[in-house]
Chain A
Amino acid sequence: MIPAPRYVRAAQELPEQAVYRYDQVDQTLVSERVAQFRDQTQRFLAGALSEDEYRPLRLRNGLYVQRFAPMLRVAIPYGLLSSTQLRMLAHIARRYDRDFAHFTTRQNIQYNWPRIQDVPDILAELASVEMHAIQTSGNSIRNITADHLAGVAPDEIADSRPYCEIIRQWSTLHPEFSYLPRKFKIAITAAPADRAASEVHDIGVHLRRGALGEIGFEILAGGGLGRTPIIGHRIREWLPQADLLAYLEAILRVYNRYGRRDNIHKARVKILMRALGVAEFTRQVEQEFVASADFAPRLSVAQVEHMRGFFTPPPYESLSDQPEPAGEGASSARADAAFCAWYRYNTRAHKVSGYRIVIVSLKKHGEAPGDASAAQMDGLAQLAEQHSFGMLRVTHDQNLVLADVAQRALREVWQRLEELGLATANIGTLTDMICCPGLDFCSLANAGSIDIAKQIQSRFDDLDYLYEIGPLEIKMSGCMNACGHHHIGHIGILGVDKHGKEWYQITIGGSSAPPAALGEVIGPSVPKQAVADTIAKLIEVYLRERRDEGERFLDTVRRLGIEPFQERVYAADHSTA
């Protein structure tokens, strides 16, 4: 007799922080995974496992061997972090790395300089704060991408975090789906704004409410970036809550059986779906879903409700909204203008009155996007404890979030972030760019990313000019694997190798927000030193052509097409003609 699956644990004391807390089963599993990996690593170091044998084992625990050193990717499940966990990440940066770490577009964190022999110890330290590196790489189900504003966003229909944790548990060491044809990414969102880029994931799960207020899901499949970027297709309009895992299993089983394994570049589910056609793929999934009804996992209402208990709202005070800052306050006018700009660009409306969401910018000009030092992490942990119920979130565009800051504390939080170098008021602007580690660290990269980011930051260092340009997303990848999501940048930058030189292909018009769109290549790639100049030309056309300040760069591209931009970038330079 097959035992029932276990996705939630028995009732126990709930934590004060709105985060899933491990029980004995979770802790045992993670600790045993550490022991297993220690054994595998020791066998490798002792020569009992070849590099070829060790590679798939280390990869499914997030350990890459990179250009200069191993890289360890640690999971931050659906981007949610407690202050205790962030302190541990700082400790690891300090003790095993070079005092910093890099937050990724998958809401995870990467260490670029650990020693292989230290990795089991690092994992053991992580396990002590309920963290791990399970399935952060390899051909398995990866970290669930989630809305970094889940639970606090005014526009969500329900909190998606309980479902994220349910899927995290279901997918962790799933015996059937641990050796898939290729990696597999699932995103969940419960808001129309789709802050999880769900349309470019292997599966996108959209929370919906039915006629009676019950929760169900719309299911997308077959999206992805990489070499063959594709927007996902809806394959199920309404899936009852109870069937969520059963349906995911049906998709995964069809993929596991029929996805291509002969060519790594054609192995994602999007390629299978394209080969079969959306209708046929959907038919096969539906058929599998029906045929496995007897043994597929079912979610009970009690299980979901129990999981929901971990993500109850923190003890908010009863506060009323304060007026937006606009020049008031005792400090100098200049500081006040800086605070107002930060308020405008780096904070967002909260669904509870008297509170505000603060986005912590990891995009300070002159720094690698997404990097944070150990001291910054420690400082943020303290700030989270004092002003955000001890919790933080990681965004897929490589910033951090203090989700629950009382409006009356905003000025203090801003000052502390200023001191930490984390208050650059550029969220949503041109320099809030996504950037992969690129050639400086990654062995897959064709070209540098961080240099380009710095070139752009330096060219567009004037915040007032950034504000004039308005909302603009630049996304940059150092190779076609697209970790930097360049296809869905309003401006995308892709590093390519041309005869040993770094060149950059520019796309415009991409977007991860609904309706998601893939950018169009504007023309031949440009040399490294010309990237910021090229972007300046694109901006010049936009500022010339936009109808009013409300029309974003993306809107102008959509309205005019790419031609005027192409013309400006590739035509003979008029200024010297």
Chain B
Amino acid sequence: MRQIIRRREIVNDELRYEGETLEPGTHSVPTASQWLATPEAQRGPALLLRETDEVELLASKLDGLRWIVVEFAKPGEGRGFSQARLLRERYGYEGELRARGAFGRDLLFFLARCGFDAFEPKPGEDLDAALGAFDSFSVAYQGGSEEIVHVHERAPGL
């Protein structure tokens, strides 16, 4: 059973990707283009966003979604940070926003600050050890996601 980090806890993954077997209680994750091509009434609660997918296409269709998985296909990939911020801050998406792909614990802090609340790092990453990465910084200069509560400590009056 694959495990992921969700809101600083290690949990079993209930999402299944292309080629994986659906079991009771799990949900398949079509790509965003597959999902968009599906008639509205039959769309599932999860989709996978590739780096080049335009979040704008999902703008008015977010209500039924519980999981958006953003793929980080290669090390150094950074488009997902902007996709996340737009989904959260421009389009008000409130379901789970999950980062999946070629990153290790060192990206978790940045990802969480952009609005991701669930994480599936690269295979082999020690999830227990990775949990500490959310505490890499207790302060930040920018506004950011409420998912990291402790970075909100700021000088009074600001």
Interface residues of A (CB under 8 A from B): 1-10, 23-25, 28-29, 32-33, 36, 40, 49, 52-53, 56-57, 139, 169-170, 172-181, 253, 256-257, 261, 291-292, 294-295, 297
Residues of B within 8 A of A261 (CB): 74, 76-77, 79
CB atoms of B143 and A29 under 8 A apart: no
Shortest Cβ gap from B125 to chain A (Å) = 10
A372 to B107, CA, bound (A): 37
Residues of A within 8 A of B143 (CB): 2-6, 295, 297
Interface residues of B (CB under 8 A from A): 74-79, 81-83, 85, 89-90, 104, 106-107, 109-111, 113-114, 136-146, 152, 154-158
A14 to B156, CA, bound (A): 17
CB atoms of B89 and A179 under 8 A apart: no
Closest 3 CB pairs of A and B: A179-B78, A175-B113, A5-B143
CB atoms of B137 and A175 under 8 A apart: no
CB atoms of B82 and A8 under 8 A apart: no
Q: Please, which residue of chain B has its CB at the minimum distance from the CB of A252?
A: B82
The one of B111, B136, B139 in contact with A25, judged by C-beta atoms closer than 8 angstroms, is: B139
A55 to B85, CA, bound (A): 26
CB atoms of A2 and B76 under 8 A apart: no
Residues of B within 8 A of A256 (CB): 78-79, 81-82
The one of A10, A181, A297 in contact with B142, judged by C-beta atoms closer than 8 angstroms, is: A297
Can you give 29 contacting A-B residue pairs, CB < 8 Å?
A: A2-B89, A2-B143, A2-B146, A3-B152, A6-B142, A7-B141, A8-B158, A9-B155, A25-B141, A29-B140, A32-B137, A33-B137, A56-B75, A139-B76, A170-B142, A173-B110, A173-B140, A175-B81, A175-B111, A175-B113, A175-B140, A175-B144, A176-B85, A177-B78, A178-B81, A178-B110, A261-B77, A292-B90, A295-B143
CB atoms of A294 and B110 under 8 A apart: no
A7 to B142, CA, bound (A): 7
CB atoms of B81 and A9 under 8 A apart: no
CB atoms of A170 and B141 under 8 A apart: yes
The one of A7, A56, A257 in contact with B79, judged by C-beta atoms closer than 8 angstroms, is: A257
Residues of A within 8 A of B89 (CB): 2, 292, 294-295
CB atoms of A6 and B76 under 8 A apart: no
A295 to B155, CA, bound (A): 20
CB atoms of A181 and B106 under 8 A apart: no
Counting chain A CB atoms within 10 Å of each CB, the highest count among B74, B83, B110, B142 belongs to B142
A297 to B158, CA, bound (A): 13
Q: Are A257 and B154 also in contact (CB < 8 A) when A25-B139, A297-B142 are? A: no
CB atoms of B138 and A32 under 8 A apart: yes
Q: Are A6 and B136 also in contact (CB < 8 A) when A56-B75, A177-B81 are? A: no
Residues of B within 8 A of A1 (CB): 146
A60 to B94, CA, bound (A): 32
Residues of A within 8 A of B113 (CB): 175
Q: Are A56 and B144 also in contact (CB < 8 A) when A10-B155, A292-B90 are? A: no
A5 to B113, CA, bound (A): 12
CB atoms of A25 and B78 under 8 A apart: no
Shortest Cβ gap from A7 to chain B (Å) = 7
CB atoms of A257 and B155 under 8 A apart: no
A170 to B144, CA, bound (A): 12
Q: Please, which residue of chain A has its CB at the minimum distance from the CB of B56?
A: A291
Q: Please, which residue of chain A has its CB at the minimum distance from the CB of B79?
A: A257
CB atoms of A6 and B158 under 8 A apart: yes
Residues of B within 8 A of A173 (CB): 110, 137, 140-141
Given A23-B155, A28-B139, 12 new contacts (CB under 8 A): A2-B89, A3-B154, A5-B143, A25-B154, A36-B106, A53-B75, A177-B78, A178-B110, A180-B78, A256-B81, A257-B79, A261-B76
Residues of A within 8 A of B154 (CB): 3, 6, 25
CB atoms of A181 and B156 under 8 A apart: no
The one of A24, A52, A139, A172 in contact with B141, judged by C-beta atoms closer than 8 angstroms, is: A172
A40 to B141, CA, bound (A): 22
A8 to B143, CA, bound (A): 13
Residues of B within 8 A of A24 (CB): 155
The one of B85, B137, B141 in contact with A6, judged by C-beta atoms closer than 8 angstroms, is: B141
Residues of A within 8 A of B104 (CB): 49, 53
Shortest Cβ gap from A20 to chain B (Å) = 13
The one of B76, B90, B142, B158 in contact with A174, judged by C-beta atoms closer than 8 angstroms, is: B142
CB atoms of B78 and A10 under 8 A apart: no
CB atoms of A25 and B82 under 8 A apart: no
Residues of B within 8 A of A175 (CB): 81, 109-111, 113-114, 140, 142, 144
Shortest Cβ gap from B148 to chain A (Å) = 10
CB atoms of A179 and B77 under 8 A apart: yes
A262 to B3, CA, bound (A): 31
CB atoms of A139 and B78 under 8 A apart: yes
CB atoms of A176 and B106 under 8 A apart: no
A32 to B141, CA, bound (A): 13
CB atoms of B144 and A2 under 8 A apart: yes
A179 to B156, CA, bound (A): 31
Shortest Cβ gap from B115 to chain A (Å) = 9
Residues of A within 8 A of B74 (CB): 261
CB atoms of A29 and B139 under 8 A apart: yes
Residues of A within 8 A of B81 (CB): 175-179, 256
Shortest Cβ gap from B26 to chain A (Å) = 31
Residues of B within 8 A of A7 (CB): 141
Residues of A within 8 A of B75 (CB): 52-53, 56
The one of A25, A179, A180 in contact with B155, judged by C-beta atoms closer than 8 angstroms, is: A25
The one of B107, B139, B158 in contact with A4, judged by C-beta atoms closer than 8 angstroms, is: B158
CB atoms of A178 and B78 under 8 A apart: yes
Residues of B within 8 A of A292 (CB): 89-90
Shortest Cβ gap from B75 to chain A (Å) = 7
CB atoms of B114 and A176 under 8 A apart: yes
A354 to B42, CA, bound (A): 79
A5 to B136, CA, bound (A): 19
A170 to B141, CA, bound (A): 6
Shortest Cβ gap from B135 to chain A (Å) = 9
Q: Please, which residue of chain B has its CB at the minimum distance from the CB of A56?
A: B76
Q: Please, which residue of chain A has its CB at the minimum distance from the CB of B84?
A: A176
A28 to B85, CA, bound (A): 25
Shortest Cβ gap from B87 to chain A (Å) = 12
